[in-house]
Structure 1
Amino acid sequence: MVTWSTRDLLIATILLAAIVGSVSGLGASYLAHPTPTPQTRDIYLFAQDLSFSAPSNLGSDYIYSSSQITVNRGDTVTIHFYNPTDKAHSFTIGAPYTNDVVVAAQSTVIQNANITITTSQAGSFAFHCKFHPPQMTGTILVNG
């Protein structure tokens, strides 16, 4: 039979209290972490022509200037999509943020379109140019 001295019992009690306190403190701080306040965000996205340096085996010589857009759930996001190239491009995204906007090729003025969405659902949502797959793709990451 194991006998505990007063000293051993006191040390075990202090260690157990420290462990339980630290674990509950971590849980409390996680639960107390505030949700970010929804913001209005302006994102600038450009079609880019890589034909001067792209290998010929790519299906496309175009990309978006940014392949990832990161926002928070509840944000109102306006994507200002500019096309300074000589080909038409689209910003196409599926549900729940369904949009299919085509921006014409540059004539004498850079063509553009504004796409506004309110990010009500968290997750990762792919967007692409329907004229230039598979290179011209990106993701909207909604934290939430």
Structure 2
Amino acid sequence: METKPTESSVVNYPAFCKSTQARKKHKEKVLNDNPDTLYVDFIFMHGKPIKNNLVFHTTRLLMSVEAELKKDHSDMQAVIDSKQKIIEAQEKRISSLDAANSRLMTALTQLKERYAMTSQRNGLSPSNTSNLQITENGEFRNSGSC
């Protein structure tokens, strides 16, 4: 399958564009002033022009890429915001559970103290209530026994 050659314009440098920097600035101006145009750039070696680059500048491609990046950014920001709300809810739940745990531990300590006082008043020997502990599963165990 043959491809048709694409027509291109030549970047023509004015006589005052002798330095590389001046040529670069002139080429950028030509490209910006004429978007969506294919240009061929030449360098001169031993007085002969040699095709150096095909140069194409467009604003449409950049705008579509920019729009896509903005959409991706907003999508990612929505995901981040959603995850942040989940994290905040989990932190609130953890705080609530910590408070409930503190209340339960206080209640357990009070129960141990009451049991010890009741046992002493009834003349029973307390069964080492200071060794009573609650496990992570919420079960009671006496740490003095195996």
TM-score, normalised with respect to structure 1: 0.30
Q: Which has the higher contact order (CA 8 A, sep 6+)?
A: 1
Whose helix fraction is larger, Structure 1's or Structure 2's? Answer: 2
Whose strand fraction is larger, Structure 1's or Structure 2's? Answer: 1
TM-score, normalised with respect to structure 2: 0.29
In our comparison, the structure showing a higher alpha carbon Rg is 2
